[in-house]
Structure 1
Amino acid sequence: MDLFTVTMPSNHDESLQMLRDSLAKHVNADLHKLKPSAQAVVEFHIEGPLRIRCEASAAAFQLKADGPAVYKAAAHVIADYVISELEPQLLSAIIRKKYKNNPSMDAAIIEKYCYELLHGKEWESLGSRFHEADRTRRRNKVADELEKHLLEDTVLNIGGFLAFRLLPYRNELTDIVEYALDEYVLDKQYQEFISLLKYFVQLQESKVPIVHLLHKGGHEFTLYNESFQTLDPKPPADRLVAEMLETEMNIEDMVISSLISVSPKQITVHTRNPDMQVIRTIETIFDGRVNVCVKCSSCASTLDEWIQP
């Protein structure tokens, strides 16, 4: 008894065997939970370059009783395929369509921002279980629609299904693209702002030979002179730069304003986190003037006291 057929997108023939094997494994595993003594009761056959046919092969199979379990398991397997294999292409297609008349938009960079939103830096502070939970939510959204379709129709064309039946999911991907674009524009503006600061710093005359910047942890920094006496710098004298810093800088980056006002010839940053974003930004703005220390005789005991293990 033929149950349904699945047709892959035209450019995904290399995934045909992988999807067929996954369907056979997971669908029969779920059926065996219902009928522990049964052998494999459904088979999946590759037909042509892009098609998989599902067939009930055991006499004990009853469509009314066993069909829903087959459709539900198959829907989740195909949804996994959509999320892992097709989602990046869907995002790329949305970006190309949305910004085809805007040549200033770098599609590859926006795709990278989308990937980071779905898989990367946005989840770092929350932990992997939140990332997996969000992926599962998207998969379940797709699986629910797939299951409804398989209960109603014996033919599933994945490409057509994505185009016409998954509007809520596609709308969510469109929202992700728009959010990624906002992040891209903000980051681009910030990089332009950093370039302006770097240019201004290069024009400045040095006021002091060296300053020490001690990173206490988190976003806490303290500025010292060459004798390790605390510095209390005034705002930058240049009005334009002062206004730029006030409107553009993040709270944790205000240490840059202090460094610009002091205008040192050399900066030694004492930190246990040399890869922190604000430290990399300081290195960019004060190009060639920055030395990063992770543990020297001047700061070792102080940092060990401040930073909790």
Structure 2
Amino acid sequence: MAEIIFRSRMDAKRFYDHLLEYLRFNPNNLDILLLEDRHIVKISENKVEVEAVKDAFYQFIVKIKLDDWFRAILQQQYYYEDLEEQQHIMEIIYSVLEGQRKDLAILIKENGDVSKIREVIDEIFQEHVSFSFDSFLKFRMRPYFKMLESYVEISIDEYKMEQEYQIFIHTLRDFLSGREPKMDTLHLLFDEEITFFDEQFMEIKRGDLVRMIDRKLLFNHPVYVDSASIAPLLSIAPKRILLYTKTPEEPLVRTIKNIFEERVTIKTYKGLRHAKEWNQLENTANENGA
């Protein structure tokens, strides 16, 4: 008989419920008993069945308690009380943990690997038939708590940047909504640098673009507005932007799409050449028809 002793009645109940749910999908002969008054979960076991208990305990740590710890850090160290804000930051945290944000993962200061928690659990189950959950956290999990703080810190920074970005996008949309379009269609080529073409596929030279820029835009948003792309686009305020690129997911393309929304159509990099050739054919046909 193994037993896990909890300081918190709620933790004991949650682990007991989690274990029952886990074992519902993993049939075995384990007998599980919850002593609510003493906050103890008792488990009858043998060498085969203990593996199921260890796996359930691991899942309890990484799927339930991990969430508790992240939220506690957000509330107690960074004073994030709003549940919606917490949820946004938690989504960033888990995207880093799950390997979806390698750009953020490299910024984690503390060394550690959440996957190694399983090794710690293996050790505690080998060494003890009975153990205190809170002592396990205090002495075995301590190295990981500093790492969790790093995940929270990086994710808060990212959340703040995302909030600033959204404010930036909304501000520029408001600026755009009051602009009279100076061009119906603008062709935009993303290569080593950005090239602007008018409706007749004539390149708009840099000097001409600079003269088109609304100076109020640069004065009001000097940090955020790129004078080589965003500023002339907002100043021209075309009804339609055909954007030709090899990398449609790059940040500047995404920003242009977010600002201009349904005005933007993404085209393949080679699409500009085909469009120019088609335009030349149409012009020739019109001239011959005339």
In the alignment, structure 1 residue 260 sits paired with structure 2 residue 263: no
User: Contact (CA 8 Å) 2:185, 2:238: kept in 1 or not?
Assistant: yes
What is the rounded CA distance, in whole Å, between the counterparts of 2:46 and 2:146 in structure 1?
36
Q: What's 1:78 paired with?
A: 57
- 1:30-83 Cα offsets, whole Å, 9 max, x none, are xxxxxxxxxxxxx8532237724354579xxxxxxxxxxx99997676335422
**Equivalent residue, structure 2, for 1:65:** none
Q: In the aligned structure 2, how far is the partner of 1:113 from the partner of 1:79?
A: 22
Paired position in structure 2 for 1:178: 153
Q: Does 1:15 align with 2:18?
A: yes
Of 269, 277, 290, 2:243 maps to: 269
**2:278 matches 1:292:** no
5+ unaligned residues in a row in structure 2: which ranges?
6-10, 107-111, 277-290
Q: Which residue of 2 aligns with 1:227?
A: 200
TM-score, length of structure 1 as denominator length: 0.63
Q: Normalising by structure 2, what TM-score?
A: 0.66
What SS is found at the alignment partner of 2:199?
A: coil
Partner Cα distance (1:160, 1:89) in 2: 17
Change (3 A) 1:10 1:239: farther
CA distance in 1, matches of 2:140, 2:169: 45
Q: Tell me the distance in 1 between the aligned counterparts of 2:52 and 2:211.
A: 64
CA distance in 2, matches of 1:277, 1:6: 50
Q: How many residues align structurally?
A: 259
From 198, 201, 219, give the equivalent of 2:176.
201
Cross-structure match for 2:285? none
Which whole-Å deviations, capped at 9, do the CAs of 1:221-277 have from their partners, x for residues lacking one?
Answer: 432110112223227744453266663368xx9532341243334322345766665
Q: What amino acid sits opposite 2:171 in the alignment?
A: L
The aligned counterpart of 1:214 is 189
Partner of 1:45: 31
Tell me the SS of whatever aligns to 1:106: helix
Percent identity among equivalent residues? Answer: 21
Give the SS at the match of 1:121.
coil
How far off its partner does 1:183 sit?
0.6
**Counterpart amino acid of 1:263?**
A
In structure 2, the residue matched to 1:247 is 223
| 2-structure distance, mates of 1:187, 1:56 | 51
Give the conservation status (yes or no) of the 8 Å contact 1:201–1:260.
Answer: yes
Q: Which moved more, 1:15-24 or 1:257-266?
A: 15-24
Q: Secondary structure at the match of 1:47?
A: strand
Partner of 2:85: 106
What CA distance in whole angstroms lies between the structure 1 residues aligned with 2:33 and 2:250? 54
Change (3 A) 1:302 1:272: farther
Query: Shift of residue 185 of structure 1?
Result: 0.8
2: CA distance, partners of 1:247 / 1:146: 50
Taking the aligned partners of 2:25 and 2:115, their CA distance within structure 1 comes to 16
Structure 1 distance, partners of 2:47, 2:172, is 71
For residues 169 and 247 of structure 2, the distance between their equivalents in structure 1, rounded to whole angstroms, comes to 21
In structure 2, the residue corresponding to 1:248 is in which secondary structure?
coil
